[in-house]
Amino acid sequence: MYKTGDLARHDQNGDIIFFWRKSEFVKIRGLRVELGEIETRINSLLNGGRSAVLVRDKDGDPEVVAFVEKGHGHEMSSTNWIRRRLRNFLPSYMVPSIFIPIDTMPLTSSKKIDRQSLREIPADRIIAIEISHLVVDILEAKRTSSMEFLREPDFPLVNAGFNSVHISFLAASIRKKYGKNITITDLHRPGTTVCGIEEMIAGTKAGEVTKGSSRNLLEDLGAIKKRLPFSTETPPFQFASKTILLTSITGFLGRQMLRFLLQHPSVNRIIGLVRAKDLDQAREKIKQQALIGQWWRDEYQSRIEIWLGDLSKPRLDRWDHSQRSQGKLVGSYDTLEATNANSTADILSAIANMKVQCPLNYVSGGYLSFTNETQHQIARNLARASGYDQTKFMSELIVGEYNSYLQNHASRFPRAITTKPGFIVGTKDEGVVYTDDFLWRLAFSILKLGAISQDLVESHIPVAGVDHVASNTIENLFTAPGSTRIQLLDGVSMATFCDILHSQTGIPIKTMHHGPWMKILQTDVEQAEYDHSFLPLMEWFRANAHDLMGNPSNDYNQHFDEDIKAALVKSTGYMMNIGFLPSVCGWTQKKDVALFSRPG
């Protein structure tokens, strides 16, 4: 009613039926909530902006929603900032649980806020908010610090500190909650935001899998070749005493290579690239990791020169030591291009312009071909692959371009070598290994299920101890091998690996038809919520399990079979000691066993 402010309506006879006195308070879970007071407080923070506070009943659980007109050039445009300030004035139950920024507040013909229009905001906007809640739940499941400030409609996932494990959890959560198969590749795309995920969900039918964008890697090579200003003016000169630059000195393989280089008689000094805030932190990081590996000696310190830098930055970030580590281990092609591809081009450019002979052994990773595929065939196979596989292949192409350049100019510079290992486990003596590598996550699931697919039993696993890979890499650096491309196909069959797991843990492992085995694996992963070790790899494994079912050519060196088995036995024991793998008696963890972690 215009004059009284009461809520009423006319009936068929023209009589006015009174409903209730118009009021701006509601009760939520028995507590009186003054919507007008919330609006007043928000408006006082907006410097002339407007807000509207409503209550939405979601499945019988009402929640306060605040629509906030976006500000211009002021911190007030951040709903995080508004939420923090409101907590200084209002009890926690009156702080809106959802903030929705909007460009312009809808108005009625009388220039008042059109609250009915706000109530009719499309449901997909609410999906974005629900996705933001999923993101927070996933992050807080793995952290002790609160991530509540992310509970708002839109932000890039990269800004939330999402890594590959978080991405996998989110993809699985979306599949369970909305019945939509948004792929990990979709979520890894650069610039992916919460609202972008909402649009993926809205545009994907239940059960349909989105198809990530395809890359033409050979075209990408053309752009990167511009970073290769090679020179051929000065003939190389070789020193007897060697200085080695090791770009991944704190990595799993890099640590072992450092160990072998320090013990090599012709190596005088090792320069190590380390991401750290200062030299003291870098030195301590190197020493502690060597102590875990049980090979450190104090006299090594004087032979290690540390460069603070970052492979993902131009020129290895040698001219700016103030960066902080981002810890990006995996991601899209665009995310990893700088770290894996551009850095290779920068290093090769520097080598080609040096006045001394400088051999290079590039240790690659990712896609491992058991057949004589051409570059074009591999590029086609990797067109929709992970960014890691794509950028590692791109680095190999760049090394090939460097060698072609040297060949075409009849250069006396040594050709660069590419070494491609398979899976890497611990040494046969110490067995210290990462818990997040594929092989051990698969071992975790095999033991948990007590079963393996019969289609995988006879497949060949290219695997070797980290000491074997490191020594092979260094040997090829000092003594020119017959080829510039070396694939380490040494390994064991899946049956042998399962025999080792059984002998060390006491858990029997049966074989099953592939379809039923994949089904129970999928069920086990999904029922474990955020804590299953195989979840980050489940999507990839579904798509690529067939690649593990083949056998390599017969030219791999079986001479190292016993060393590989010994390394697997020792590594399995280490994984049991740290509580990652179970035994027939369950999970146990020895308190005096140090845990290796990836460098951050």
pLDDT digits (tens, 9 = 90+) for 198-226: 888 887 544 455 555 677 888 888 778 77
Q: Residue 307 falls within a domain, yes or no?
A: no
Q: Residue 518 falls within a domain, yes or no?
A: yes
Q: What is the pLDDT of residue 60?
A: 61
- Residue 105 CA to residue 252 CA, distance in Å, equals 55
Q: Please state which of the ranges 1-10, 310-319, 515-524, 546-555 shows the lowest mean pLDDT.
A: 1-10
The interaxial angle of helices 252-262 and 466-478, nearest 10 deg, is 50
Q: Residue 347 falls within a domain, yes or no?
A: no
Top-confidence residue, 258 or 366: 258
43 and 149 share one domain:
no
**What SS3 class is residue 232?**
coil
User: Does 10 have pLDDT greater than 90?
Assistant: no
Burial of 19: CB neighbours in 10 Å, binned 0-12, 13-18, 19+: exposed
Give the DSSP H or E segment for 392: helix 387-408
**Final residue of a structural domain among 151, 167, 202:** 202
590 and 454 share one domain:
yes
113 and 147 share one domain:
no
Q: Residue 229 falls within a domain, yes or no?
A: no
CA angle 39, 44, 46 (to 5 degrees): 95
- Residue 55 CA to residue 94 CA, distance in Å, equals 11
Q: Residue 485 falls within a domain, yes or no?
A: no
Q: Residue 97 falls within a domain, yes or no?
A: yes
513: domain range? Answer: 435-460+492-546+557-595
Give the DSSP H or E segment for 401: helix 387-408
Q: Which CATH number covers residue 154? A: 1.10.1200
150 and 86 share one domain:
no
Q: What is the mean pLDDT of the chain?
A: 79
- % of the chain surpassing 90 pLDDT: 20
Q: Total structural domains in the chain?
A: 3
User: Does 326 have pLDDT greater than 50?
Assistant: no
**Final residue of a structural domain among 71, 103, 121:** 121
Q: Whose CA is closest to 248, among 347, 358, 334, 369? A: 347
538-565 residue pLDDT tens: 877 887 777 776 665 555 556 678 999 9
Q: What is the pLDDT of residue 266?
A: 85
38 and 22 share one domain:
yes
E strand segments, 444-519: 451-453, 460-465, 485-487, 491-493, 510-512
219-264 residue pLDDT tens: 888 778 776 766 655 555 555 568 898 888 888 898 899 999 998 8
Q: Whose CA is closest to 572, among 426, 421, 437, 438? A: 426
453 and 569 share one domain:
yes
Top-confidence residue, 365 or 240: 365
Rounded alpha-carbon distances, angstroms, from residue 419 to 291, 330, 360, 545: 27, 20, 10, 24
Q: What is the pLDDT of residue 442?
A: 94
Which tokens is 500 given? 């080792």
How is residue 39 annotated by DSSP? H
**Final residue of a structural domain among 121, 146, 179:** 121
Burial of 239: CB neighbours in 10 Å, binned 0-12, 13-18, 19+: exposed
448 and 591 share one domain:
yes
Tell how many helices (H) and how many strands (E) occur in the chain.
Answer: 20, 18
Q: Residue 312 falls within a domain, yes or no?
A: no
Which tokens is 87 given? 């907590």
453 and 563 share one domain:
yes
Q: Residue 523 falls within a domain, yes or no?
A: yes
Q: Which CATH number covers residue 99? A: 3.30.300.30
Q: What is the pLDDT of residue 204?
A: 58
- Residue 99 CA to residue 80 CA, distance in Å, equals 9
- Residue 39 CA to residue 53 CA, distance in Å, equals 6
Instruction: State whether the Cα torsion 537-542-544-550 is positive or negative.
Output: positive
- Residue 198 CA to residue 196 CA, distance in Å, equals 5
- Residue 203 CA to residue 197 CA, distance in Å, equals 10
188 and 101 share one domain:
no
139 and 115 share one domain:
no
pTM given for the model: 0.68
Give the DSSP H or E segment for 245: strand 242-246
Q: How are beta strands 61-69 and 98-102 bridged, if at all?
A: parallel
526 and 588 share one domain:
yes
439 and 587 share one domain:
yes
Which tokens is 266 given? 């012709």
